[in-house]
Amino acid sequence: MQILVVDDEPIFLRLLTAQLETLGYCDVNTVGSGREALSRLQTPTDTYDLIMLDIRMPEMDGVTLCRHIRTIPAYRETPIIMVTAMSDKSYIDDAFAAGALDYITKPLDRVELKARLGIVLRLHMQQKATAAAAANASLSSYSIAPPLEFDDPIALLNVDRLLSATALENYLLTLGLGRMHGLRAFAVSIKNADQFFMAGTPGSFVDMIGDVATVVQDCLKTEDVMMSYSGGGIFVCILRGEHGYDAELLTATANFSMSDFEPIYSDANMSLPDIQFGNLARMPSLSFGRPTRLLQLAKMQVNAVETYSPLKRRLNRRRIGDL
């Protein structure tokens, strides 16, 4: 893998480069500022498979740099790992929202570094395999390779606060049990997603996922939510507190908003996506399991919810009456 490390401390750059080399990652390039990094990344001759960013840097911090990197087409899905001091953990939420995949803390722990890089290496190999298999397939308007299977997760990095499935799980793992018990989770299901997958092209399926993600974001209207498309027609979302969450009202609102897309789907002879918000899930009070279990609990909640609630039916009747 080709790695780019961005940090304004020359001593740390030398230390991290040495650590990476001992782990077998010898193709490492270093730069000392965000502006220099952007200049390097926008050069077509340089292509990096992993980018490591220090959070605290003068002029342009790592979170801002991460956002800029995600606007470069060649690096929309490239793994980004944030490097931070323990005192900077308050910035981690913003880093994940900006598109980071994971983070490590200073001083470096060799075992932790090896584990994090192992995850990135496996993800890198999967991305290469997917890109090769999808080379002749139709791309979506999001300019990403379509999923090969219905249950594959999809990362749309140009949808606000929509993380990759791996990044959302990594985020939960950073929180610890104390902060986990202040979180709630819910899932959003596209009840007819399988019909879209079977009837359309891979590219049109990805476009549909993007349409639904946009509608869900508009319905939530809060920056406290992070979400991911986990595959199988299901989004998983986490938020702090309950914020007056009403699954029935959100379901009705989302499907009503989806009607704005009706001409597009009608032209393609497709029905509209049928969106269902699940009930809130929370970690049991005395639970000591993995934090990612919260996402599984959320999926169980949405699978137990009735497809059409009375409120949704009333809204649909009102919409038809307005036509």
pLDDT in tens, 130-150: 555 555 455 566 655 555 688
Confidence of residue 129 (pLDDT cuts 50, 70, 90): low
Give the tens place of pLDDT for each residue, 181-226: 667 889 999 999 999 888 878 888 888 999 999 899 888 876 578 8
Q: Which two tokens stand for residue 16?
A: 């991290």
Q: Which CATH number fits domain 143-323: 3.30.70.1450, 3.30.70.270, 1.10.10.10, 3.10.450.50?
A: 3.30.70.270
CATH code 1.10.1240.10 for 1-133: no
pLDDT at 128: 63
Please, where in the chain does CATH 3.30.70.270 lie? Answer: 143-323
pLDDT above 60 for 302: yes
- In sequence order, the 6+-apart residues with CB closer than 8 A to the CB of 75 are 41, 48, 51, 69
Q: How far apart are CA 86 and CA 303, in angstroms?
A: 39
What residue spans in the chain does CATH classification 3.40.50.2300 cover? 1-133
This prediction's pTM: 0.69
How does 63-75 read in b/e, with b if 16+ C-beta sit within 10 Å? Answer: bbbbebbbeeeeb
